[in-house]
Every structure is written in C-alpha cells, then in structure tokens.
Amino acid sequence: MVDLKPIVVFALGVLAGRLSLGLEGPLVGWLGLIDVKSILCALFLAIGIEVGKDERFWGYLRGIRGLAILLPLFSLLGSMAGGVLSSLLLGVPLPLSLASSAGSGYYSLTTLLLKEMAGPAEATYGMVLNMARELMVIALMPLLVRIFGKWGAVGAGGATAMDTTLPFVVRSAGPEVAMFSFYSGAVITLVVPLLVPFLYRFFS
C-alpha cells in the first residue's frame, strides 16, 4: 500500500506557505526560523541509529559475498545514468538532475538537501522525481524482474529496497533476494546524504 502521508504533509506545507504571504505574527515568524541544517543533522543521526541498531543489516552484511557486494554501486551508477539522460532529454540542469536521481527514491532527505543547497523549486523537483520512482518501482516490479532480472529489480528500488519496496521485491523475485535487497537499500541510504550534495556542487 502506498503511503500518502508525505504528499499530504507537503501539500499542507505549500498551502501554509502560500497563506503566510504578506502576513505577520508569531506563527509566521516561527516558520521563518526553521533551520534546515539542524533538521538535516537530526535526520542524518536518525539514519545512522536506524541502520546501526538493525540486527538484520549486520547479519546480512556478513552473508554478502562476491559481486553482490557491488549491488549498491551498480544501483547508484544506474540512477546517475538516468539523471544524465533526463538532463539531455528534458533540459533539466545537470547538477539538479544528477543530484535528484542520486537520491535513489529517498525523497524526504533529497528534498531537504536540495532545499538547503538550491531552493524550493529544486527541492520540489527532487521530491517529485524520487516519489515517482518509488511508485513506479512498486507498480512495475513484476515487469522489472522479467526484463532486468532479480538483481536489476533490487537495484531499481534504490534506497527503498530496504523498506518500502522490499515486500514487492520479495513477492516478484523470491524470498532469496530479501537479504541482498535490504543490504543494498541500507548502504544506499547511508551514501545518499554524501552523494547528493557532492554531485550538485561538483557539477554546478
């Protein structure tokens, strides 16, 4: 089942921002004091704690062998290749397209990072792109398995392969890929906070 809460919260935020134009008062002033950097630091800490305390991750890590270790790398390279392609075809600036694609479905973090580095329009693009990726992976998982195989399907899930899209991967590709899916998603989740700002700044 698709979680619609992020969409609802975002829509409410847009509405609140729109209604606050030209207004004054303590609430409007408080909204202007929200520190995105502090939110990002708290989110980074939460990511580390979540992965670090999950015994499945450490157990899976010990069981990963051979080329499967490189699965997160292949997933990220595929995401970035898609970013370059979308920049060429759609005319999206390369830094924005690459950074957004490197978000790998992690829309909440990608949105905050782009808001801090670029602005609300770029943040919205990153959020929509990554939410669309998650929804498409969920909807097209059986087709992805048939076309790209089980490992390609895991890679398509990006960061979401450890949680949101994991049940759909297992259902379409089989329970034997659960360990690799969780491992790949967890590693990508840890890399996204570093990769997104690096790509945006390097290509700007």
12, exposed or middle or buried, with CB in 10 Å at 0-12, 13-18, 19+?
exposed
Nearest to 144 by CA among 172, 182, 115: 172
One domain, residues 116 and 23: no
- Helical axes 5-19 vs 120-157, angle rounded to 10°: 170
One domain, residues 42 and 28: no
One domain, residues 87 and 155: yes
Q: Flag whether pLDDT at 98 surpasses 90.
A: yes
Looking at residue 166, its pLDDT comes to 87
| Confidence band of 20 (pLDDT split at 50, 70, 90) | low
| Confidence band of 33 (pLDDT split at 50, 70, 90) | very low
One domain, residues 147 and 183: yes
One domain, residues 154 and 177: yes
156 or 18, which is more confident? 156
One domain, residues 45 and 76: yes
One domain, residues 132 and 99: yes
pTM of the model: 0.76
Listed in sequence order, the residues at least 6 apart from 47 whose beta carbon sits closer than 8 Å to its beta carbon are: 109, 189, 190, 193
- Percentage of residues of the chain with pLDDT beyond 90: 50
Instruction: Report the alpha-carbon distance of residue 53 to residue 84 in Å, rounded.
Output: 35
One domain, residues 96 and 174: yes
Query: The tokens of 171 are what?
Result: 């259902």
| Confidence band of 28 (pLDDT split at 50, 70, 90) | very low
Instruction: Report the alpha-carbon distance of residue 147 to residue 202 in Å, rounded.
Output: 34
One domain, residues 43 and 16: no
Average pLDDT over residues 16-31: 52
Looking at residue 27, its pLDDT comes to 46
One domain, residues 152 and 75: yes
Q: Flag whether pLDDT at 193 surpasses 60.
A: yes
| Full residue range of the structural domain in which residue 10 is found | 1-34
One domain, residues 139 and 104: yes
Dihedral, 128, 96, 35, 164 alpha carbons, nearest 10: 40
| Tally of structural domains, the chain | 2
Calculate the average pLDDT of the chain: 82
One domain, residues 13 and 93: no
